Structure 1
Amino acid sequence: MQTLRGVYKNGNIELLRKPDHKIGQMAVLITFLEDDQNVDLIEHGINETEAGDLRHRLQCFSDDWNQPEMDIYDDL
């Protein structure tokens, strides 16, 4: 079993990345997230300290992420 994030839009589901291995036709379960901003850290196997460390290490990408042309991804 593999979990992938995606976006439901106009009746279609767009995956944010491709599966790790080739998948033909397969049954799937779809879960609609009510609030994408709140992440259960424990469910993802990290605590607040580790999340802070991760934010710090990813900070070098913030200039790119905050470019106006990246706003197109906000609606995904």
Structure 2
Amino acid sequence: MYHHLYHKSGWNFGLKTIEGVYRGGKIELAETPSDSSEGSAVIVTFFSSGSIDLHVRGINQAQAADLRARLAPFAEDWESPEMTVYDNYDACKANL
């Protein structure tokens, strides 16, 4: 996901969102950023395991309901037995 941020001073910059996992003091990215150079500045946000407080993240009940409705078509795939392999992806990958 890519975002552009603009500041009142006139400068702007882009943000690219890449998922990852924190292990052993390092961040393991799910993909390699294709448009970033070595040494690029990053912002890391940690999510707690379990539920996410949407209100703290600026998402109200109406927005959450809209998001839930838009994601509903994918729920059947997400909840299928075949997708449980992704619940513990690293362990399953190690057994290949």
TM-score by length of 1: 0.62
Identity across aligned pairs (percent)?
36
Which residue does 1:60 correspond to in 2?
73
Which residue does 1:13 correspond to in 2?
28
The structure having more radius of gyration, on CA atoms, is: 2
Higher RCO, 1 vs 2 (CA within 8 Å, ≥6 residues apart): 1
- Please say if residues 54 and 60 of structure 2, whose CA atoms lie closer than 8 Å, have aligned partners that are also in contact: no
Matched residues in 1 for 2:56 and 2:48: separation? 18
Q: How far does the alpha carbon of each residue in 1:11-62 deviate from its partner, in whole angstroms, 9 at most, with x for none?
A: 55133x565x60111243434333352233452x431111112112211111
What pairs with 1:1-76 in structure 2 (closer than 5 Å)?
A: 2=15, 3-9=17-23, 13-15=28-30, 19=33, 22-25=35-38, 26-43=40-57, 45-75=58-88
TM-score by length of 2: 0.53
The structure in which a higher percent of residues are helix is 1
Question: How many residues are aligned here?
Answer: 73
RMSD: 2.9
Secondary structure of residue in 2 paired with 1:58:
helix
Question: Structure 2: which amino acid aligns with 1:61?
Answer: F
Q: What are the ranges of 5 or more consecutive residues in structure 2 without an aligned counterpart? A: 1-13, 90-96
